[in-house]
Structure 1
Amino acid sequence: MHVSELDGRRVALWGWGREGRAAWRAIRGALPGLPLTLFCRADEVDGALRVDATLAVETDATAERLAAFDVVVKSPGISPYGEAAAAAAARGTRFLGGTALWFAGEADADGIVARTACITGTKGKSTTSALMAHLLRAGGHHTALAGNIGLPLLELGGADADYRVVELSSYQTGDVADSGARPEVAVVLNLFPEHLDWHGSHERYLADKLRLVTDARPRIAVLNAADPRLAALELPGSEVRWFGHEAGWHLRGDLLFRGDQEVMDTRPLPLPGRHNRGNLCAVLTAIEALGLDAAELAPHAAGFAPLPHRLQTLGERDGLAWVNDSISTTPQATLAALECFAGRQVAVLVGGHDRGLDWSGFADAMDRHAPEAVVTMGANGPRIHELLVPLANAGRFRLAAADDLADAVAQARSTLDPGGVVLLSPGAPSFGPYRDYVERGRHFATLAGFDPDMISAIPGLGVA
């Protein structure tokens, strides 16, 4: 749905975070006289009215109130599967996000959003998106980087760029499909259980994530040949190109290959973890899908600046290395982080908001390849701790339970010798004690003795 199609309809905004404000600006810019209702938190009401005194502001988004509108433009964190939203949808209310409005506005006459690559996946999508933008810019191409990575697409607007790289969370992939537009290229990196509280089930999470390629029908879908769920997909209407396959871009050990042609050694690259170097293959495949020479751009990966809160080495304090992987929100992400420090003495801090994810696979991995210590914390900390007690009692590793992050840092410090690594890789969201993973990572940096303002900025957002 294009923003102009909201004219004459009963429209509400739901959420007054950055995405909500971006949607308000886009709608007001196109339809200044359109009556708008805003559903937001009580502590946001005064601020919203200072921005726009014509808003009708409400704080209780009940099914009855939501059903009074033809269209509700909601922020990504609000699930359409909640009781109120589902009941209103059943009565005819259409729910969509700013992502849908942007894509509808950018489609050409054939419905294609040209020169645009969308990137999603359970883990690695932010680094992959930023890396792709970096390589395109290194090749002299004016490139926009936006989406879930930190800049709402509606803030990007119709900014002039040669290429657009868009990171999408599972909260946003359905919006691309619902927009009626088709991205030129869509990349899916991997699939693991995630965000079950928003989606309601593992099956729905997978289906929603895959809507980017199953329903949005990109011109070219770039998929991970090593992921069995992706390998089994059939995508009529889209050309499929594989990464991680010997016929295309893939790794042999640490060496990067294009087919049988060796391109370079990836070990010196500033891409922590083999999974990130593997995602370089996704980037190069997507760049080729846009019609560019990927082999020519690949060496520029050496100049990539790693993103904050993603296996971010803060530095050394008290003889220990401190690594901030606060964005880790699944057990699989924590295991991938631990692989990066194999052979070193590591104390890993795990736990946070409990979404009911299964940690038994993590426990199995600890039985085979354990760090020096595991410190549990957060709402799901006791559940993780209980799984790990038998292994700790068998001497596989040291196990400690912490009251909060400060206590976890103190306990990790006490377990390590000089040269050890304190790794914050929680495998769970930050909700509860922290607003988001950024706030959690900043607190970790402070506890470790680093300036949090020096570690949080994401380089390259917008057009450059």
Structure 2
Amino acid sequence: MGSQEVSTADWQGKHVTVAGLGVSGIPAARALHERGALVTVVNDGDDERARAQAAELEALGITVRLGDGATLPPSTELVVTAPGWQPDKPLFLAAAEAGVDIWGDVELAWRLRGTNGREAAPWLAVTGTNGKTTTVRMLASILEAAGLRTAAVGNIGVSLLDAVLGETEYDVLAVELSSYQLHWAPSLRAHSAAVLNLAPDHLDWHGSMEAYAADKGRVYEGNTVACVYNAADPATEELVREADVEEGCRAIGFTLCAPGPSQLGVVDGILVDRAFVKNRQKQAQELAEVSDVNMPAPHNIANALAAAALARAFGVEPAAVRDGLRNFRPDAHRIEHVADIDGVAYVDDSKATNTHATEASLAAYDSIVWIAGGLAKGATFDELVTGAAKRLRGVVLMGADRALIHEALTRHAPEVPVVDLDRTDTGAMSEAVEHAARLARPGDTVLLAPACASMDMFTNYIKRGEAFADAVRARAEESA
């Protein structure tokens, strides 16, 4: 098959195995079946939900095999996988041995765009360890303010296949891409792309930091207009240097400092552009005020600059950048102010599921009672604690791997009082908030920024954040 677009005829009678039911697997199976492919879906799980999903697909004539995602079905000519399936699964090893290509949902969407009779919309892509969702949603808000038909899609929860094959005709797509998705997307070629930052994450999946970075760097391959990098993170700039891009594609940096030529940055509380102006050696274009960013924490300003850079690469005028940032509202559980009680602010950043995100969150406040803990995913906490020690009024720990954080606090912040909750039930959050309230003083911030995944205690980070918010609101009612 060609590396770019694929006609419907190319799928007729082709044996395709789709690995995994769910957000990406079901749309992939449907789309391929509609194009005449002979689709078999394999899935590790065989629970009630999987059986219900299987019944819907089987009613269409799609074969579904539950409880066995390890064996490659006979005659398979292509595997399309859900992004989270690890590369060392027996199914993929068998496919590689047989010379069968493996695509992710992003690769399939990229190949199928433009096959529904509409012109394919260009992609503005965003990846990085942290800030992807916020940046993509900021970007979509800016593009909408410019009058463009757009959507925030990809790892953000909206299926890319639905976006490229649906009824809506888009001018441009703001695409969030995880390292998993990029690993399985060899032919993706974005209009412009950004890597926001790089820090150790998902190393159990990728095998090493080098492999993780290399998969993130795939987002720059074949870019046509701009590769946007973080001037404060040299690893992102190195990925630009290593990328094979189209002739004329530019490296564009973003910085929280005054920008140099070909950069966006901040001067006296103003977001300015020295990249997309006629004379970038001498000129700078005002885009927005720092106060236009919601919330204006340092890492969020960086996200806004990255979004602005991608929008400017697409030709968006400065006024739309300002209006889009003003219109943007952050996701729930991402530095979300819940309440003020007795002079103490309570902030929910449950989405800070790794140390890099938590570092940015802690840097946004001067005096903090920190609620942390959960599943560490192989992370270490010494660097995080060292950087935040002077800001910590106290710490409340809970969750399966809380001891790792406690040990780092003992080594690097022994004077900070720590409450260690020896429980992993969901009710622990209410007790954590009570202990945090006792430690806090007027002017402090009680910050839920766990630096860990949530699945030891909660279904996901959303449920964890909701538990925190419920506990805070209950305390607010008691104090009223």
Q: CA deviation at 1:315?
A: 2.7
CA distance in structure 1 between the aligned counterparts of 2:227 and 2:158, rounded to whole angstroms: 24
Alpha-carbon deviations, 1:194-253, whole Å to 9, x = none?
111221221111111111114x54543222222211223423434123132422311136
Alpha-carbon deviations, 1:61-105, whole Å to 9, x = none?
454446763322221121223455335423334322211111112
Q: Residues 67 and 271 of structure 1: is their aligned pair in 2 closer, same or farther, counting only changes over 3 Å?
A: farther
Cα RMSD, aligned residues only: 2.6
* 8 Å Cα contact 1:275/1:336 also seen in 2: yes
Q: Residues 174 and 147 of structure 1: is their aligned pair in 2 closer, same or farther, counting only changes over 3 Å?
A: same
Corresponding residue for residue 304 of structure 2 = 280
Corresponding residue for residue 284 of structure 2 = 261
Classify the secondary structure of the residue corresponding to 1:52.
helix
CA distance in structure 1 between the aligned counterparts of 2:7 and 2:103, rounded to whole angstroms: 11
Corresponding residue for residue 432 of structure 1 = 456
CA distance in structure 1 between the aligned counterparts of 2:290 and 2:90, rounded to whole angstroms: 48
CA distance in structure 2 between the aligned counterparts of 1:23 and 1:191, rounded to whole angstroms: 30
Aligned residues: 438
Moved over 6 A (4+): none
Q: CA deviation at 1:119?
A: 0.9
* 8 Å Cα contact 2:126/2:194 also seen in 1: yes
Q: State the AA in 2 paired with 1:174.
A: H
* 8 Å Cα contact 2:38/2:62 also seen in 1: no
Question: Aligned to 1:173, which of 167, 173, 182?
Answer: 182
Q: State the AA in 1 paired with 2:40.
A: L
Q: Residues 64 and 420 of structure 1: is their aligned pair in 2 closer, same or farther, counting only changes over 3 Å?
A: same
Answering whether residue 368 of structure 2 is matched by residue 358 of structure 1, we say no
Answering whether residue 148 of structure 2 is matched by residue 129 of structure 1, we say no
Q: CA deviation at 1:359?
A: 1.6
Question: Aligned to 1:398, which of 391, 413, 417?
Answer: 417
Answering whether residue 14 of structure 2 is matched by residue 9 of structure 1, we say yes
Question: Aligned to 2:42, which of 35, 38, 62?
Answer: 38
Q: State the AA in 1 paired with 2:327.
A: G
Bigger relative contact order, structure 1 or 2, given CA contacts below 8 A and separation 6+? 1
Question: Aligned to 2:321, which of 256, 272, 297?
Answer: 297
* 8 Å Cα contact 1:75/1:97 also seen in 2: yes
Classify the secondary structure of the residue corresponding to 1:298.
helix
Classify the secondary structure of the residue corresponding to 2:291.
coil
Q: CA deviation at 1:34?
A: 2.3
Q: Residues 253 and 150 of structure 1: is their aligned pair in 2 closer, same or farther, counting only changes over 3 Å?
A: farther
Q: CA deviation at 1:324?
A: 1.6
Provide TM-score, normalisation by structure 2: 0.83
Q: Residues 72 and 379 of structure 1: is their aligned pair in 2 closer, same or farther, counting only changes over 3 Å?
A: farther
CA distance in structure 2 between the aligned counterparts of 1:433 and 1:218, rounded to whole angstroms: 45
CA distance in structure 1 between the aligned counterparts of 2:397 and 2:108, rounded to whole angstroms: 41
Q: State the AA in 2 paired with 1:325.
A: D
Question: Aligned to 1:246, which of 243, 256, 260?
Answer: 260
* 8 Å Cα contact 1:430/1:440 also seen in 2: yes
CA distance in structure 2 between the aligned counterparts of 1:241 and 1:270, rounded to whole angstroms: 27
CA distance in structure 2 between the aligned counterparts of 1:197 and 1:298, rounded to whole angstroms: 40
Structure 1, unmatched stretches of 5+, are 451-464
Question: Aligned to 1:118, which of 125, 132, 136?
Answer: 125
Matches within 5 A, 1:199-218: 199-214=206-221, 216-218=222-224
Structure 2, unmatched stretches of 5+, are 275-282, 475-480
Answering whether residue 169 of structure 2 is matched by residue 160 of structure 1, we say yes
Alpha-carbon deviations, 1:143-195, whole Å to 9, x = none?
1211111211112233301221111111112344x2x3421111111111111
Classify the secondary structure of the residue corresponding to 1:257.
strand
CA distance in structure 2 between the aligned counterparts of 1:230 and 1:365, rounded to whole angstroms: 22
Classify the secondary structure of the residue corresponding to 1:102.
helix
Matches within 5 A, 1:340-419: 340-342=364-366, 344=367, 346-367=368-389, 369-393=390-414, 395=415, 397-402=416-421, 403-404=423-424, 405-406=428-429, 407-419=431-443
Answering whether residue 73 of structure 2 is matched by residue 52 of structure 1, we say no
Q: CA deviation at 1:107?
A: 6.0
Q: Residues 6 and 441 of structure 1: is their aligned pair in 2 closer, same or farther, counting only changes over 3 Å?
A: farther
Provide TM-score, normalisation by structure 1: 0.86
Classify the secondary structure of the residue corresponding to 1:172.
helix
CA distance in structure 2 between the aligned counterparts of 1:222 and 1:431, rounded to whole angstroms: 33
Q: State the AA in 2 paired with 1:437.
A: Y
Q: Residues 298 and 45 of structure 1: is their aligned pair in 2 closer, same or farther, counting only changes over 3 Å?
A: closer
* 8 Å Cα contact 1:13/1:20 also seen in 2: yes
Classify the secondary structure of the residue corresponding to 2:190.
strand
Corresponding residue for residue 277 of structure 2 = none
Identity %: 30
Question: Aligned to 1:25, which of 9, 12, 30?
Answer: 30
Corresponding residue for residue 461 of structure 1 = none
